[in-house]
């Protein structure tokens, strides 16, 4: 989920369908709404946010500071016109990038991906466990090899790893993967994503680390997973 802090609904609507076709959910919030949501949401809800775009809005500076305190994600500011004063101000507030509109949605996705790569630690964690899961946009490593996953399957695996072996329902996974604001996607799509994910894990590992029980939900075996905790520690702090 990508959050767009913008007071004008029409501006967000201009991007929303394009992002959705690219597989990303774009949600509009005012700066104050975002601050309230961040301060009242759980770590797992916050983990569903991939990036934040900052447009024209009241209290933009305050919201950026809150984002930086709670989230380790790309933050990109969109300017209406080129302004050195505004650009400098945004960088001082801690945004990762500043662009001048009009800007194509694909360029924004590329910039988000590039920022995520810069956030990756230079020193790779070497783990004894067969699965290494990162929370910075990288695909997981299985038996020392990178396993390429579609975004939704990767988010499911990250979510299951983040809850340390607890069992969760399909509805809980849906909320973590698609966010709390989307009403146009059927919850049953989660079953398809999990089925594909389990098949790939079984192919790499020779066994299925995800256990499912009817009416109780899904559980990832914590004994076979190493979690790269940099992002989680930032969220919990």
CB 49 within 8 A of CB 158: no
Kindly give the confidence (pLDDT) of every residue in the chain, 237 residues in length, as a single tens digit, with 9 standing for 90 and above: 899 999 899 889 889 888 888 888 899 999 999 999 988 887 777 878 889 999 998 888 899 999 988 888 899 999 998 888 888 999 988 899 999 999 999 999 999 988 887 775 433 444 456 888 887 778 898 887 888 999 999 999 988 988 878 889 988 898 888 875 555 667 788 999 999 999 999 988 888 999 998 878 999 988 888 776 444 444 444
What pLDDT does residue 100 have?
A: 93
What pLDDT does residue 182 have?
A: 55
Domains of the chain are 2-119 (3.40.50.2300), 131-236 (1.10.10.10)
Q: Which residues are paired to 76 by β-bridges?
A: 53, 97
Gap between the Cα atoms of 192 and 151, Å rounded: 14
Gap between the Cα atoms of 201 and 221, Å rounded: 12
What pLDDT does residue 125 have?
A: 43
Full-model pTM:
0.54
What pLDDT does residue 97 have?
A: 94
Sorted by sequence, the CB contacts under 8 Å of residue 78 that are 6+ apart come out as 53, 54, 55, 98, 99, 100, 101, 103
For 20-57, the DSSP string reads HHTT--EEEE-HHHHHHHHHHS-HHHHTT--EEEE-S-
CB 161 within 8 A of CB 224: no
For 156-189, the DSSP string reads HHHHHHHTTT--B-HHHHHHHHH-SS--SS-TTH
Strands 145-146 and 141-142 turn out to be: antiparallel
Query: End-to-end CA distance of the chain, in Å?
Result: 22
What pLDDT does residue 236 have?
A: 40
């Amino acid at each position: 989920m990508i959050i767009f802090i913008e007071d004008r609904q029409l501006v967000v609507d201009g991007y929303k369908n394009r992002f959705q076709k690219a597989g990303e959910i774009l949600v509009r919030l005012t700066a104050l709404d975002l601050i309230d949501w961040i301060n009242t949401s759980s770590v797992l809800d916050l983990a569903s946010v991939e990036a934040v775009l900052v447009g024209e809005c009241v209290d933009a500076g305050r919201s950026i500071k809150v984002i930086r305190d709670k989230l380790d994600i790309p933050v990109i500011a969109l300017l209406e016109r080129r302004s050195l004063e505004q650009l400098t101000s945004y960088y001082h507030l801690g945004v990762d990038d500043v662009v001048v509109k009009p800007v194509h949605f694909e360029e924004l996705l590329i910039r988000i991906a590039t920022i995520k790569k810069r956030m990756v630690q230079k020193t790779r964690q070497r783990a004894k466990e067969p699965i290494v899961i990162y929370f910075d946009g990288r695909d997981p490593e299985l038996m020392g090899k990178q396993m390429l996953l579609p975004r939704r399957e990767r988010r499911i695996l990250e979510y299951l790893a983040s809850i340390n072996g607890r069992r969760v329902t399909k509805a809980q996974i849906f909320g973590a993967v698609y966010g709390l604001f989307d009403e146009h996607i059927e919850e049953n799509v989660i079953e398809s994503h999990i089925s594909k994910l389990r098949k790939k894990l079984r192919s790499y590992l020779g066994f299925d680390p995800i256990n499912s029980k009817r009416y109780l939900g899904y559980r990832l075996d914590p004994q076979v997973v190493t979690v790269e905790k940099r992002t989680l520690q930032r969220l919990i702090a």
